[in-house]
Structure formats: structure tokens, C-alpha cells
Amino acid sequence: MDKEILRIVIIATGLLIVVGMLTWAYFKNQRLQEQWDAEDELAFNEDFEPSLDKDELYDDEKDVEPETFDPHYYDRDDAAFEPDEHDIEPAPRFSVPDVIQFSLIAKAKEGFNGADLANAFAIVGLEYGSLRIYERLDANRLVDFGVACMHESGTFPYENLDEFYCRGLVFFMQPGVLDHARQVFEEFIETIELLAIELDGTILDQHREPLTDETIELFHQSL
């Protein structure tokens, strides 16, 4: 056999062997891929198999309660419910009245006795004035605040104190005419509280309600 023909035969035989191997490898890979796909699909169906049967999954819609809107619910992340700053009205600022007026009511049924009042007023530094009421005077003998009787005339008698009874006292001050209104107010409150202890009385605010620390602080901060 000629060497050239022998070489051609060898080359052709080699090509046939290579083509055969490639074809066999292709079909083998194809079968393996189909097997893997089938196994993956089976595993997926098993992992996501619903816990309810078909009857439960496709039950009548009448068993499903419609979603309701709760008007009290507010989602801060929902811009639709974000309040407009222009819609929020600021709290009204407390304004101190021209005359601050608090009261002290006697717990005893007969009220405060005149002699007891005179003694208690002397303890807290109140003086009997020309208007027949008691007053707190500053270093220049000017009135810081006054105390009137909760009586028709509002005055206290000068004589026969043992026979006089008063059901309550009215304390008043005018912050607008004072140079140190806040300091005077502090002394004003301290005087009322001391007299409440000394005379056994109940302190009322300008609305005739029991005076609270919050109300006192509100006045104090506004002066």
C-alpha cells in the first residue's frame, strides 16, 4: 500500500473515532441533564407543597372577612397620613391676669376666728392697713400684696376680734405694678401656704379649685 494512501486511511480512522467519542459524550450529557432537571423539579414541588388541600385553598370567598380600615391607626411612614404643620395649632400661651387672686377657705364650720387671724397675720409679716385689710409692705412701705376677708365688706374689724368669724380669705396681688413680680409671687405663695397650715385651711386657685403645684409653676414661669 502506498504511504500516501496509508496516511489518509489513518487520518480518516482517527477522525471517525473522535466524532464517535464526541457524539457519545453529547448524548450522555443530555441524559444526565434531563435526569437532574427531573430531580430538581421533584424537590421543588416537595418543598413548596401547600399545607392545605384543594378544597381549603379554593374555599368559598364568603369565609374570607373583608379588610377593614381602622380610623385610629396611623402609619408614620405613610405620607398620606403625615399631618401638615400648618394644621397643628400651637397651645395658647398662658397670660397672667392683671390681678392674681387665690383663696384660703376654713375647714372648720364656723370659719376663721378674728383673734386667730390677727395672730397668724403677725407671724407671716402682714400689717393691718388703712383700708381695713392686711397687707405685705416692701422696704419702701409700698404694698406688695393684700389679704381681704371673704365677707360682704371684705374688711377686718379692728376691735372685738374674738367675736368675729370669717369663712375665708382672699389673697391678691397686681404683678403689673411691681418691679420684682416673680419674687413677690414666691413670697405670696409662701405666705398663703404658711397661713393654710397655721389656720387649717384649703387653698383654692382663681377658678375656685384646689391650688396645684402645676398652677403655681404656670404663674411663676409667666411672670
DSSP string, the chain: --HHHHHHHHHHHHHHHHHHHHHHHHHHHHHHHHHHHHHHHHHHHHHT--SS-HHHHT--GGGSPPP---TT---TT-GGGPPPGGG-PPPPPP---SSEEEEEEESSTT-EEHHHHHHHHHHTT-EE-TTSSEEEE-TTS-EEEEEEESSSS----SS-GGG-EESEEEEEE-GGG-TTHHHHHHHHHHHHHHHHHHHTEEEE-TTSSB--HHHHHHHHHH-
Q: Is residue 7 part of a domain?
A: no
Q: Is residue 122 part of a domain?
A: yes
Number of domains in the chain: 1
Residues of the chain with pLDDT > 70, as a percent, come to 59
Q: Is residue 178 part of a domain?
A: yes
pLDDT in tens, 13-66: 555 565 556 565 555 566 656 665 666 555 545 554 444 454 544 455 455 455
Confidence of residue 86 (pLDDT cuts 50, 70, 90): low
Q: Is residue 78 part of a domain?
A: no
Q: Output 3 or 16, whichever has higher pLDDT.
A: 16
CATH label of the domain that carries residue 115: 3.30.1400.10
Average of pLDDT values for 116-125? Answer: 97
Q: Is residue 172 part of a domain?
A: yes
Average of pLDDT values for 156-163? Answer: 94
pLDDT at 152: 83
